[in-house]
Amino acid sequence: MFERSRRGFLVVFSAPSGAGKSTIVREVLRRRPVPGMGLSVSATTRPKRPGEVEGRDYYFLSEEEFRERMGRGEFVEWAKVHGHLYGTPKKAVEEALEEGKVLLLEIDVQGARQVRRTFPDSVLVFVAPPSLEVLEERLRARGRDPEEEVRRRLEAAPRELSEAGSYNYIVVNGDLEEAVRAVEAILIAEYHRARRFKGVSMR
Amino acid sequence: MFERSRRGFLVVFSAPSGAGKSTIVREVLRRRPVPGMGLSVSATTRPKRPGEVEGRDYYFLSEEEFRERMGRGEFVEWAKVHGHLYGTPKKAVEEALEEGKVLLLEIDVQGARQVRRTFPDSVLVFVAPPSLEVLEERLRARGRDPEEEVRRRLEAAPRELSEAGSYNYIVVNGDLEEAVRAVEAILIAEYHRARRFKGVSMR
């Protein structure tokens, strides 16, 4: 009776570095709370980290290649974060939405704003640490970044956190399991939004 | 860091009679997916059904009493449904919201519109049957209403269903467990809405 719209929607995740965003997104993707979930793969000029796979984690581009594609308007959004360029390929997102995908996208706060401008139907989720102290602990504990990078990320956090109010949802990641369940609930709820249905058709 | 607003919010459920709304709401109340859940108790002039309890299911009023309270503006909304008056006591709702309650409210489509006018922050959930045939089966199977009443309810259904588009969420109740989980997810998601937080406070 109620027919679902064929078009999917974007779920954008932003967080200060170290809040646990990627861990949450990875786990939610594994659990698949709604049908047709996928991960939007960004392009970046930042060096590949151990364990990362081209085309799965990122499209790793040289700065020259990245800027060429930028010039051709191939990115929904792009931003310089901690000295590296990141961009969301427009064509891939459009195709996924047309296929009805629920597409998860991890980007920074500047990018989220641009995505919402292009895809107003997007759902914006802000992942926050329970406190700045916990954020610092986590950044140091993962031991991935040099001290200078850790400091740069910590300095950026307050500005990023101040943007949370412009998101649709805020998930405070104190307990990982709780945060994952909250995001699962957000996806299921958004899947039941009245605007995702074509309207009433009586038969 | 992110402080939750002290004020609760209303979750309004509407459905054509027989869609399973009350069963879903009762089960969700039992599972308590979010803290501070409560049920808003309506006033009505319709006769008490077997098993119903005054003050728990409804405040059962005579038509005279109901109209007196209406005249004093004591209802957020009131409506005549299938020949009986129903109303939501304003004071009780206000008090519950101030206490931080997540207040579930079962009302008809006319009432939902009035509630949203008074409490714009309300979440509106429409519960739909999978088809009109299933609705008819369910109304007859519960064997509660005389034939005339069943017909009146079936005749009202298409008009009620046509209002679903103005709700925030649509839950099609084909499988009860699935519908209950969808409503649980909606409550958890709404609990994480950015607007339910006071904003960012850095410490």
In a domain, residue B50? The reply is: no
CB–CB of A189 and B203 under 8 A? no
Residue A81 pLDDT grade (very low, low, confident, very high; cuts 50, 70, 90): confident
In a domain, residue A176? The reply is: yes
Q: Shortest CA distance to B108 belongs to which of B133, B89, B82, B132?
A: B82
Tell me how many degrees the CA angle A65-A67-A68 measures, rounded to the nearest 5: 65
Instruction: Give chain A's mean pLDDT.
Output: 92
Residues of B with Cβ-Cβ distance to A189 under 8 angstroms: 169, 182, 185-186, 188-190
In a domain, residue A139? The reply is: yes
- CB of B172 within 8 Å of a chain A CB? The answer is yes
How far apart are the CA of B31 and the nearest CA of chain A, in angstroms? Answer: 15
In a domain, residue B146? The reply is: yes
pLDDT digits over A13-55, tens only? Answer: 999 988 999 999 999 999 999 999 999 998 999 999 999 999 8
In a domain, residue B114? The reply is: yes
Measured CA distances, A40 to A11, A47, A49, A60, B108 (Å) = 10, 19, 18, 14, 41
Percent of chain B with pLDDT over 90: 72
Q: How far apart are CA B120 and CA B116, in angstroms?
A: 5
Query: How many domains in chain B?
Result: 1
CB pairs under 8 A between A and B: 112
Percent of chain B with pLDDT over 70: 98
Q: What is the CATH number of the domain that holds B169?
A: 3.40.50.300
In a domain, residue A167? The reply is: yes
In a domain, residue A63? The reply is: no
Q: What is the ipTM of this complex?
A: 0.89
Closest by Cβ to B194, choosing from A126, A130, A158: A126
Q: What letters, b where the CB count within 10 A reaches 16 and e where it falls short, cover B98-113?
A: eeebbbbbbbbbbbbb
- CB of B185 within 8 Å of a chain A CB? The answer is yes
According to the model, what pLDDT value does residue B176 have? 96
According to the model, what pLDDT value does residue A200 have? 53
In a domain, residue B172? The reply is: yes
pLDDT, mean of residues B15-35: 95
CB–CB of B1 and A158 under 8 A? no
A170: containing domain? 2-40+101-200
Q: How far apart are CA B9 and CA B35, in angstroms?
A: 12
Q: Are B18 and B138 in contact (CB under 8 A)?
A: yes
Tell whether the model's pLDDT for residue A124 goes beyond 90.
yes
Give the pTM.
0.90
Tell whether the model's pLDDT for residue A202 goes beyond 90.
no
CA closest to A129 among chain B residues: B1
pLDDT, mean of residues A174-190: 97
According to the model, what pLDDT value does residue B143 have? 80
A147-156, A168-177, B91-100: least confident range: A147-156
**In angstroms, what is the C-alpha Rg of chain A?**
17
pLDDT digits over B139-173, tens only? Answer: 998 888 888 888 988 998 998 898 898 999 999 99
For A91-131, the DSSP string reads HHHHHHHHTT-EEEEE--HHHHHHHHHH-TT-EEEEEE-S-
End-to-end alpha carbon distance in chain B = 7
